[in-house]
Amino acid sequence: MKADTLAKLQQAARDGACRLVYFDEAGFSASPPVQRGWSPVGEPHRVVPQPHCRRSVLGAFDYGANLLRHELSKATIKRPAVVQFLDQIAQEGDPARMTVVVLDNAKIHHYIEQETLDRWFIEHRMVLFYLPAYSPELNLIEIVWKHAKYHWRRFVTWTRETIEAEIAKLLGSYGSEFEIGFT
């Protein structure tokens, strides 16, 4: 049922009748994800893991405009950061169109004060649309995260000094260097 509703929302977003935003968090590690590898005989593997160098990212993918908005954090993402980011998404909305934010059922996405939800609806025409549990395939930003981590990222180990700039460059390149055609 939610998939049918999402299909209708996507059509409405393509028609310009609403703004459809997919929201989620992701973690980026200094070492690229290595699913397999090789090295010449007698030479060691060249990717040196740096497990303590990690960044969290809040992201919002605007389906109709095919735009990615992101915010980097050194800390683990907590509910106040989610609310603040969603508040920015609400303020960027077009008052003439409803904004629907699609998000999963992570605990930090719930228990937002009713006063805040009411303000988003009344002042910015924004509502939250929760996906069923265990259905990441319905949240299109998950596909963006997968491509960013496994396909678009340069295969180099980032350092503590470069990780933030590298993530900003990678995600900032969405729409110019990298793009997914969902429509």
- In SS3 terms, the chain reads as CHHHHHHHHHHHHHCCCEEEEEEEEEEEECCCCCCCCCCCCCCCCCCCCCCCCEEEEEEEEECCCCEEEEEEECCCCCHHHHHHHHHHHHHCCCCCCEEEEEECCCHHHCCCCHHHHHHHHHHHCEEEEECCCCCHHHCCHHHHHHHHHHHHCCCCCCCCCCHHHHHHHHHHCECCCECCCCC
45: left (phi over 0), alpha (psi -120 to 50) or beta: beta
Whether residue 177 lies inside any domain: the answer is no
Whether residue 47 lies inside any domain: the answer is no
Q: According to the model, what pLDDT value does residue 145 have?
A: 87
Question: CB 102: neighbour CB atoms within 10 A?
Answer: 25
* Number of domains observed in the structure of the chain: 1
Whether residue 13 lies inside any domain: the answer is yes
pLDDT block averages, 10 residues each, the chain of length 183: 88 94 91 66 67 85 92 91 96 92 92 95 96 90 88 78 87 83 70
Q: For a pLDDT cut of 70, what percent of the chain falls above it?
A: 91
- In which domain, by residue range, is 118 found? 2-29+56-172
Whether residue 75 lies inside any domain: the answer is yes
Q: According to the model, what pLDDT value does residue 183 have?
A: 61
Q: According to the model, what pLDDT value does residue 99 have?
A: 97
Residue 25 sits in a domain whose CATH number is 3.30.420.10
CA-nearest of 180, 183, 43, 21 to 102 is 21
Question: CB 140: neighbour CB atoms within 10 A?
Answer: 19
- Report the C-alpha gap between 167 and 145 in whole angstroms: 11
Q: According to the model, what pLDDT value does residue 29 have?
A: 84
Q: According to the model, what pLDDT value does residue 60 have?
A: 96
- Report the C-alpha gap between 80 and 34 in whole angstroms: 33
